[in-house]
Structure 1
């Protein structure tokens, strides 16, 4: 990380802690797992932000990355990372690679990350960034995330970083028993909520809606 970014990163982490505290009644999380915050500290966000937005790299807001997509607000990145309850030996599927920032965070928390991005140019750019950071435990593929990545299923957790009216059935099928899926559900115009879904040992599903969010829509045709 660039030396002049150290102070900006510390301020960002302090803001995230404040927002976590302020939203604790909605999220059920008064504090985040320290591992999640350390993962954020270790990933230089400016590497995932366009050149003309470098001055805003450590601001706690989403930023455009081209192709109508965004890099998520750091607070939301931290919260979603915490909600999947990551363990060092986990294998995680991410739908919506975008800039690769969320995948870089997850790479510091779990054993393996498989990340799908429907826009080929973004997938290629993210792959280069992640390689530069030494994220050897992340594999990025250009593809339709609605279908998941069955070759590597089942997953200990699945994170979707784009919104849809409902969770794609293929993702539920690819979630391991006991696993957790986190995804924004709803539409940009009618409102979205961050949803946490957990699959029990018998395949039963329990869901909890956490807080209002605003994500870009999940694109790509759904399975018939």
Structure 2
């Protein structure tokens, strides 16, 4: 069954162009030019990924991202006409998984959509591998890769796909330092990603907040300055 992509952009030419390229990849596209018209689709929850423009006529795209994150964890890609680093960090801080700066090449957006959806899919390794890697634990933290659930002290922690992937990598290598470069390669794998440490930093901060962790006295994610992170 094709994945369902939500596209919200008030620039109709851009929204229409993305629709054509995503349709060519056999995705089902729900296209809207404002947040209000898209609300029923968002509230329905039957979405696999959302592409949101930051500058919408009736609602700030960051606010819409935050609204979605209150209920759903599917990937969100922000489209922004601004190039300031603060705008990119704002989107990531509010729960976005990725951002694309306008003007962009449609194929780049498609590549990022594929990368995000790959992270959400349940892979089917051999039965032996599946049993070995299904559950990862550290202290009171539990990660189930089969059900895509994270539990802390028995309570479910809602993680975005990117946050889940980062935690997965760190737990698999618990006790060892994972460099920022290795973390990028393990989580994103795509060559178009620049080695921007601020992106990882924001996601790590989100993880710490959700795990009730701190950078000063971490129980789980420890920063190894100048190198990376470890659990």
Query: Which TM-score band applies after superposition, normalised by the shorter structure?
Result: 0.3 to 0.5
Higher strand share: 1
TM-score (norm 2): 0.31
TM-score (norm 1): 0.32
Higher helix share: 2
